[in-house]
Structure 1
């Protein structure tokens, strides 16, 4: 119509963001806008990153799990309403290789994380609670101290010089005191949190799962009780992975997953084979079928994990099955 002008605003494209996290920097890439920026990995940099993201409100933000370095930005973005997914770094690297890129830089990593967000749509996940993060730090410190103690004790047994043996024995005593202090702090921390205390009570009610295994599961698998048994087995790396091709039926095997809970469950399975009647019968059935000893142990580990997940989801203690 004459004298009238029609305006049509361009629709804003759906934006996906990839954030490559390092100790010092936050590299962000916005896809499909093609914009890349770098911010410092501190409070100031996180504020600047949120101001940038607030302009585009990305559909999904993807970053890699990097120990402690990604936690502050993950928590800050989540509290401001951004959908953030944290993925395994190996998964991101394999995605980049599948795209035909072998080079690795922070800028490229951020770009491929944004492409992965659009292509795979990984689910957003809330950051763990501060209580769980603190428990994880304490349990991981205890585990590292136990490894150091074992190494020192082995060196002390093979040392032939009296001076060296004395020095190593002194270090062993100091580490033992350090572990004792960590044990007391862990117990104090769990005791003051009713939710953690209840979880520990449920887990330790299962024959075969002791206090150390329960703490390893609580710290290493916060998802227990809120996921399915199959998901729990996959998280711990205890689910048999198919290996078939054409007419060939390959042997199933376990791989990947979280090593700390899996190591704890290995020791628990050894105990459960002796003191858990139902699992002992299950183990005997597998042995009678000709299953190797390690296969039997892995099956017991998976049974223990699925049982723990079920009891936590129902918030009840273990009770023996009626005869």
Structure 2
């Protein structure tokens, strides 16, 4: 299997092939460039494994093209590539060097154990973009509300109110469209979990459907809810902290349900146990977020509804 690294920007793609000649090629990020690369790779597509970073949506058309033509593709978290660069003591920062680094990462890390990319359906792409758009709108709403709260000018305050009304209307319209696209039995089953709302169930079903998670641990790691430990001997004993990796939309969607579940006294045995150990409120909330993610995975994969006797 030959590893291929791709450094993708809006207009161009730098490609490093780790074959005998360490072939490098720069192509346009469009169908003309994709076909140019296809002609360059005369061997069986099964002999190549492409790796690229999840950079916005610039990679999507290229990744989909490769999958449609029989190539194996992995879309990696940019933070993982960055950490790999540190282990390689890489100092140079150019597009050509970056695509070579990604190819090396693919060769050393991914070919052994990592899952391959599957082209999402058009509906999955649409849901993904709507979720991202709603997230942006809600961030803008929060920013406007904060500005309005601290505003000392009457005219500006009136203008901010107008913007808020308009923004809320956009959020409502977008959520309505999203609701049309995400009607499913899976979503209804996840809504049986305490504190899981329609909005959160939509997000959970989207990611569980779009990616093939083999275990609950894989799903929680994807959400960035796996704690990192740094202990070694007697000199290193740092507090656990959340991984920087993880999908922000999924992690954000689980936060408020976890807060609500904590206030409702859901999972009381678990929260009491953590509090007796002296864990802070923040740590308890994260533990509930992880619990909710695990429950969602289990109910989704087993086709069950929440039962407090089994999962409480």
Q: Equivalent residue for 1:281? A: 269
Q: Contact (CA 8 Å) 2:213, 2:219: kept in 1 or not? A: no
Structure-1 residue corresponding to 2:48 = 59
Partner residue of 1:72 out of 61, 66, 69 = 61
Matched residue SS, 2:304:
coil
Contact 2:204–2:296 (8 Å) recurs in 1: no
Q: Does 1:147 align with 2:136?
A: no
SS state at 2:145 partner: helix
Partner of residue 124 from structure 2, selected from 122, 132, 137:
132
The 3 A distance-change label for structure 1 pair 47 and 103 is same
How many residue pairs match? The answer is 304
Per the normalisation by structure 1, the TM-score is 0.87
Query: In structure 1, what is the equivalent of residue 256 of structure 2?
Result: 267
Query: Where does 1:173-252 land on structure 2 (aligned, <5 Å)?
Result: 173-191=165-183, 197-220=184-207, 222=209, 226-247=213-234, 248-252=236-240
- Provide the alpha-carbon RMSD of the alignment: 2.2
Deviation for aligned residue 1:280 = 2.4
1:312 equivalent to 2:300? Answer yes
Partner of 2:156: 164
Deviation at 1:273, TM superposition (A): 2.3
CA contact (8 A) 1:25 1:39 kept: yes
Quickly say closer, same or farther: Cα 1:224–1:275, change in 2 above 3 A: farther
* Aligned equivalent of 1:89, options 78, 89, 98: 78
Deviates more, 1:52-61 or 1:292-301: 52-61
TM-score, length basis structure 2: 0.90
Q: Is the 8 A contact 2:190 2:201 kept in 1?
A: yes
Of 299-308 and 113-122, deviating more is: 113-122
Query: How far apart, in 2, do the equivalents of 1:155 and 1:134 lie?
Result: 32
Alignment of 1:96-115 (within 5 A): 96-115=85-104
C-alpha separation in 2, matches of 1:56 and 1:29: 17
Q: Which aligned pairs between 1:293-312 and structure 2 lie closer than 5 A?
A: 293-312=281-300
Instruction: Mark the CA change 1:311 to 1:255 in structure 2 (over 3 Å): closer, same or farther.
Output: same
- Specify the alignment match of 1:253 in structure 2: 241
1:165 CA displacement: 1.7
Q: How does 1:23-38 map to 2 (within 5 A)?
A: 23-32=10-19, 33-38=21-26
Q: C-alpha separation between the residues in 2 aligned to 1:312 and 1:94?
A: 33
8 Å contact 2:63–2:73 — kept in the other structure? yes
Once the two structures are TM-superposed, the CA of residue 19 in structure 1 deviates from its matched residue by: 1.2
For residues 236 and 42 of structure 1, the distance between their equivalents in structure 2, rounded to whole angstroms, comes to 31
Shift of 1:65: 0.9
Gap runs ≥5 in structure 2 = none
In 2, Cα distance between the equivalents of 1:272 and 1:128? 32
Distance across 2 between alignment mates of 1:82 and 1:118:
15
Deviations 1:7-30 (A, max 9, x none): xxxxxxx53211111100011111
Q: How far has the Cα of 1:100 moved from its partner?
A: 2.9
Q: 1:116 to 1:289 in 2, by over 3 A?
A: closer
Say which SS state the counterpart of residue 202 (structure 1) adopts: helix
Which residues of structure 1 form unaligned runs of 5+? 1-13, 192-196
Deviations 1:246-281 (CA, angstroms, capped at 9, x unpaired)? 23444322222222212221211122224464x123
Task: Give the structure 2 partner of residue 120 of structure 1.
Answer: 109
Q: Higher Cα Rg: structure 1 or 2?
A: 1
Aligned-pair CA distance for 1:164: 1.4
Q: Provide the C-alpha distance between the structure 1 equivalents of 2:133 and 2:72, rounded to a whole number of angstroms.
A: 31
